[in-house]
Structure formats: C-alpha cells, structure tokens
Chains A and B, each alone.
Chain A
C-alpha cells in the first residue's frame, strides 16, 4: 500500500495534525474502518455458518397454539386442564408458577439475609458462630443438592397421607405437602358475589395510603417541633381500625378456609406442595447465605463512628440497628442484593430437578412433544429477561428512593 494519500482538508477544531502527508494505513479513521470491516466479516461468517447449520425451514411459533395434551401440577388460582387449553396457555401457567417461587424466595431470602448478616456481627460469640456456620455451609454447597435434599427430607421424613400429622385440625403435614388455612372470598352476610372482596381490598389500599400520609405528616411535625408524635402508632391504628370497620360494614367478605383430609387428598385451604416447598426453601437458604454476606459487608463498610455515635446518644441496641445502621447499610447493599434477586430468578429453573412445573419445565415438556427447540429456547430466554427486567426496575426504583439524600 504505497499509494500517496490524497490531501484532505485539515480537521476543523482539533489539536490533531491534519491528515495530509500521513499514509492511509496509518490514519486512525481508516484503520478503524478496516478493523471493523474485518471483524464484521468474521462475525457475519460465523453467524452465517450458525444460521446455515440450524434447520430453519420449520421455524415459527405456530405450534404454541396447538392443544397441549399434558398436565401441569402445582397450579394456584389457575385451573388449566391441558385438554382444551393450548401450549402457550400451559406455558403461561408455568410462568405464573415461576413468579410465585421467585417472589416468595426473594422475600424470605432477604429476611434470612438480614437476620443472619446482623447475627454474624453480633457481640454474642455463639450467635456469631452459628450465623457463620450457616453461611459457610449453604454458600459452598450446590443449590441443586440443597433443593433435592430438602425434597428428600420432605419425602422421607414427613408421614404418608394416611398418617397425616394433624396440628389441631388447623394445619396438616404429610409427604403430599403442608395444608394450611387460607382466606377466601365469601358472600358474607349479604351473600355477595366473589368480586365483592375486591371492594374491601380497594378500601384497604385507600386507607393504607391515608395512614401513610398521616404518618408522613406526623413525622414532619416531630422533626420540626421535637415533640414526639407517635407517627407509626397513629398510622397503624388508623389502618387497623379502618380495616376492622370496613370488614364488618361490608358483612365479613372474607372467611378463613380450613383444610381437611379426605381419603388421600387435601381439600380446601392452601396446600403447599413438597416441590414448591423444596424449591423455595432451597432458594431461600442458598440466597439467604449470600444475602447475609452482603448485609454483613455493607454494615462493616460503615464508619465505626456511626455505631459509636448511636451509642453516645443513648440508643438501645435494637434502635441503633434499625434507626442508624441498617438504613445506611441499605444504600450499599441494594446493588449486590439486586444481583442476588436476578440469580433467584434464573436459579428458579432448578424446579426441573424436583419436577415443579415452572416455565422451564413446561417449556421442556412442550419441546419434548413438539420439537422446535430453538423457538422454545427463544421463548425461555425472553421470559427470563423480562422477569429480570421487572426485578431490576423495581430495585432501581427502591434504590433511587433509598439513596435520595435528605432527612
């Protein structure tokens, strides 16, 4: 390449020397162009090879509308039989199952994480050791093994349904799962339809918002005047009274449904199946160990002066933790905790190992029946990404609330 570069006008507003005189191959723009050209060519070649080797003649998502012809278990609030419903409906039932597991596991693992993380820093030697033991055990063993172990303990340890463990006619434990009482909509005094409970829930939300506004107002006043205004007690009181009054006024629209055993089946109430329990407990214990380390790390990252200052103004240990330490540590821990939540979402696919019909397993069944692995994988990854996106958005919102500077 010995071609003399054509003289180009000097660049308008830069400290770079004009291009004139520099051979083409030494020019930055040209080099970038060539580099990217080569890169694009190689990538395109690989992509074409992949495209070519995949058999895409039958690519399409039409098969999802066909009748499913299989059953999914562990349904809640849905009742899809698999005969009349299409595959995509079954898949959505699976998504709903995943969401339940993820939601419960996120809540519980956060709780476990905070408790254990704080315990690890306890001045009580035994408590700190116990917390460390928990973290070291559950962080260093595979989640899969934890899940199947919980499942095995449930199957082997719990009694069979004929010898069901009856806890005061209130809850039942057997290897078919745990049955507990559960609130259900009820006609109440006026025999209203089921949707009537929605009115009560709406009223609850309205009064909840009102109670929160009262709380905020009282907190402001406390800050201005220095007089104690008991904001939390007021808010809780308003909400409790309102909930009770509306509950009675609407004629008791909710009743508690107690479970009972008939033959080899649970009827009524809420049944927590062993698969759901194993997966949720496994995810909770595993993620809880990581969350505990995050909580501990964030607390330790705070300057020592914070807890010393809290001691100096005479706060009790509990006050020090909830008013001074945790609110500040929260800012530090939210990004890491978010990562753990995203992991919970992805790890929920381990449902496959205990035959819990989450989205991944349902997708696997559909693929087994209909083929179309590529399409199914596409559906799976998009679903997981969407759930991750929702988690990220929620956590970013919480993060922006928490990190907002202000009193």
Chain B
C-alpha cells in the first residue's frame, strides 16, 4: 500500500459559507436607495425564471430533470402504495428487529432504547437544542415505526413502550434544556454527568441487554445486532486508534514500524477478509462466541482507519503546540494528554464521523460470510419464507430505508457537533 495522507471524506469537509446565512450582517441601505419589497408573486416568478428557465439550455435541463423527477416520484408512489406487498415486513417485524432475541426478555431491549433515547435527549439539551426540523424528524421516524407496529396485527404493547422511549428522550431533553448555559459550576457538573453517561452508555446498554437471565451474546440478532456492532466498532476503533496513531508518529523506530505495519496491513484487506479471519482463524487465537470475534474484528478494523485520521490531525497541529507544551515544562505524557490529544481529536471529528457512518453501513457485512444474522440477513430469512419469495425488492428497500435513517441522523448530528465546536472555522 502506498502511503496516502488520510483524506477526510468530502461530506465532512467544511463547506464554504453560504451567502446570506445566519451570522452575516444584513446590509442596510440608506433611505433614498431603499426600495419597497416587491410582492411575493413577482419574487416567485423571478425566482423561477432565474433558477429554472434562465436560458434555452436551462429550460431544456429543467424539462429533462423534471421528467426524471416526476418519473421517480410516480414510480415510488406506485411501488410504495400499490404494487409493493409490505406484508413481508409487517409479518416479520420481530424477526427483522430482534430475530432470535427471546420474547420474554424483550424488556431489556425497550429499557436499552429508552436509556439511549434519554441520553440523546440530554445531550441535545446540554449542548444544543431541538429545532423544528429535529421535531419533524422525530415525528416522521416515530410515525414510521408506529405505523409498522400498528399495521397488520397491532403490537400494542410495543407501541406503548416505543412511545415511552420517545417520552424518555423528551424528558432527558426537558431536564437539561432548562439549565442555565452560562459557565458555572452547575453547568460544568451537568456537562460532566451527561458526557460521562454518554461515554459509558455502550457498557450500560450491554449490561442491560446481556447480564443475568437467559440471554447471551448469541441472542443478539436482527437490527439489534447492527445497533450493537456499530458502536462497539466505533468505540473500540477509537480506543485502539489513539495509541496506534501516537505509535505511528513515535520517534522510536520499533514502535512506529510495527504500528505502521498494523495500520497498512489492516487497511490492505477488505472488511470481508477480516471477517473471514474472525470465522476461521481467530477461533484458534481468542476463541469465544462468534459475535464476540466479529466485534473484535470490527474494532481492530476500524482502529486502523481511526488511527490514520488521528495521525492526520496530529500532523495538522501546528508545531508551536508541541513546543509550547515543552516550554511550559510539561513532560511527554502530560503534553500529549493535555495539549496535543484534545486538539487532535477535535480536528479529527469530521473524518471519524465519516468512518462511523461507514462502519454503520458495514455492519451488514457480517451476514455475508458469517453465520450471523443482522437486519439484512434477517431480511434474507424473511424472503426465504415460501409466501414472501416474490417480495425481495420490498424487503431490501425496507432495509435500505432503515439504514438510511440512522446514517442520515448521524451525519446531521455530526454537523451539529461541528458547528457547536467551531470545527473548520478560524
């Protein structure tokens, strides 16, 4: 592998400022140059002319694009409301959602969801706030889920539990949004508590899901498996990635050589290849449940990529930061922990979120060669049932929509974080 500098995925790069965006001052003209605002109809006509019919070529483009758009919309409406047989989804709700997770232990799932939702709400309340779009998103997604659960043999209790979970999110939000935002001891304590809870949310969820009772890792199945694998990969990847990045940047030859070798070898093979290792080779080395091995592979794989992003951030830090840390008398460990790492991690948030979304999508790969069944795998099981064999397209479209919702939410939340942190601005 040649050594390419890690490039942040383009979606994470800061976009140039949009003219007229919030934060820009409006120019106020002197009275003699002010004009009355033209009526809405005139402005609308002008907008249409400027943005749709600005030239003969532009008109042609508009017609072609409009035709394509109309065809897509028409096709979608026909497919979704008339030709598709969504029974393959509604009939297999539980299979798709949790698969082999025992029914009598379902409360664990609901409690985990409520906890995570509450934490998300608290995080929003602490560092941001719900805008109209966020409410709309919750409404749409919640409506979608409830529609699924109410359609074809209503699952009343699940609907109620889901509503309670949404309620928990707003409760967490309400508890935190009223706190004063000014810097104060209270604010610091609040941030520490919410941040700490977020940091340990994954272990909390794993404990709720797996400790005690009849459940074990092998019961993680369906969409729940995606929801567990991805955070394990992301958190594990960061935990592995930080020392790897530092190691690769180390002055000690043996350390930097081995870390470089690790990163390049892991990045050299596709994730499927590493899952192949999890299936056939890791068994002899660490043993354990296949799901655990898959988690280890996810973390090890993500770690190499995260390390590259963090290394890029380390290199992007001005030399002065290192020198200043030395100048105030910090030793190596202190300067890394207090000066270098916080800044490097902050810089590398955008590409790391890109990697997180990528890992989220890649959780589907465990289905391909491992005998594990996540959402896509259970969709395969659903269409393997005799009465649903013609409904392949419906099943996969549903899976795609579910993945899209979460990935889209992740990218939007990361944009929020970036703006709050002022990343990409000077």
Contact = CB atoms under 8 A, between A and B. Distances in A.
B284 A364 contact: no
B396 A360 contact: no
Contacts of B376: 142, 144-145, 148
A162 interface: no
Contacts of A338: 4
B337 to A, nearest CB: 17
Given A55-B284, A127-B65, A141-B407, A317 B364 contact: no
Interface stretch (A6-14, A266-274, A291-299): A291-299
Contacts of A50: 285
Contacts of B69: 126, 129-130
Interface string A23-38: 0000000001001100
B10 A336 contact: yes
A380 interface: yes
Interface stretch (B21-29, B202-210, B266-274): B266-274
A83 interface: no
A347 B281 contact: no
Contacts of A396: 2
Contacts of B368: 144, 350, 352-353
B408 A388 contact: no
Given A130-B69, A364-B369, A54 B272 contact: no
A39 B252 contact: yes
Contact of B273 (A126, A317, A339, A349): A349
A32 B392 CA distance: 60
A349 B272 contact: yes
Nearest to A152: B392
Interface in A380-400: 380-381, 384-385, 388-389, 392-393, 396
A360 B357 CA distance: 24
B7 A142 contact: no
Interface stretch (B49-57, B105-113, B115-123, B234-242): B49-57
A373 B396 CA distance: 31
Interface stretch (B95-103, B183-191, B320-328, B397-405): B397-405
A74 interface: no
Contacts of B255: 35-36, 39
B284 A377 contact: no
B9 A290 contact: yes
Given A130-B65, A145-B364, A140 B404 contact: yes
A53 B407 CA distance: 39
B269 A381 contact: yes
Contacts of A140: 357, 361, 403-404, 407-408, 411
A142 B402 CA distance: 10
Interface string A266-291: 00000000000000000000000010
Given A350-B368, A392-B1, A153 B273 contact: no
A190 interface: no
A311 interface: no
Interface stretch (B11-19, B32-40, B125-133, B147-155): B11-19
A377 B276 contact: yes
A335 B400 contact: no
A380 B407 contact: no
B68 interface: yes
Interface stretch (A117-125, A192-200, A221-229): A117-125
A377 B369 contact: no
A373 B285 CA distance: 13
B258 interface: yes
> Which size class do A's interface residues fall under?
35 or more
A335 B273 contact: no
Contacts of A124: 51-52, 54, 58, 61-62, 65
A307 interface: no
Contact of A373 (B9, B281, B393): B281
B393 A149 contact: yes
Nearest to B408: A140
Contacts of A126: 52, 61-62, 65-66, 69
B7 A335 contact: yes
Contacts of A55: 284
A200 B38 CA distance: 68
Nearest to B69: A130
* Overall SS of chain A's interface: helix
A35 B393 contact: no
Contacts of A392: 1-2, 4
Given A39-B255, A149-B393, A335 B4 contact: yes
Contacts of A100: none
Given A141-B403, A381-B265, A347 B393 contact: no
Contacts of A155: 392
Nearest to B258: A43
Nearest to A367: B280
A139 interface: yes
A245 to B, nearest CB: 38
Contacts of A389: 1-2
Interface in A41-63: 43, 49-50, 53-55
Interface in B229-275: 251-255, 258, 265, 268-273
Contacts of B403: 140-142, 145
A373 B393 CA distance: 34
Interface in B375-408: 376, 390, 392-393, 396-397, 399-400, 403-404, 407-408
Contacts of A294: 10
Given A141-B361, A145-B376, A377-B281, A152 B7 contact: no
B400 A149 contact: yes
A374 interface: yes
A300 B403 CA distance: 29
26 contacts: A32-B251, A40-B254, A53-B285, A54-B284, A123-B54, A124-B52, A124-B58, A125-B52, A126-B65, A126-B69, A127-B61, A141-B361, A143-B361, A144-B361, A149-B396, A156-B390, A290-B10, A294-B10, A297-B10, A349-B273, A350-B272, A364-B276, A385-B269, A388-B268, A389-B1, A389-B2
Given A126-B62, A300-B16, 15 more contacts: A49-B285, A124-B61, A126-B65, A130-B68, A142-B364, A145-B400, A296-B10, A339-B4, A350-B272, A367-B280, A373-B280, A380-B276, A381-B273, A385-B268, A388-B2
Q: Which 4 A-B pairs have the closest CB atoms?
A: A373-B280, A346-B270, A140-B407, A293-B10
Interface of B: 1-2, 4-5, 7, 9-11, 13, 15-16, 50-52, 54, 57-58, 61-62, 65-66, 68-69, 251-255, 258, 265, 268-273, 276-277, 280-281, 284-285, 357, 361-362, 364-365, 367-369, 376, 390, 392-393, 396-397, 399-400, 403-404, 407-408, 411
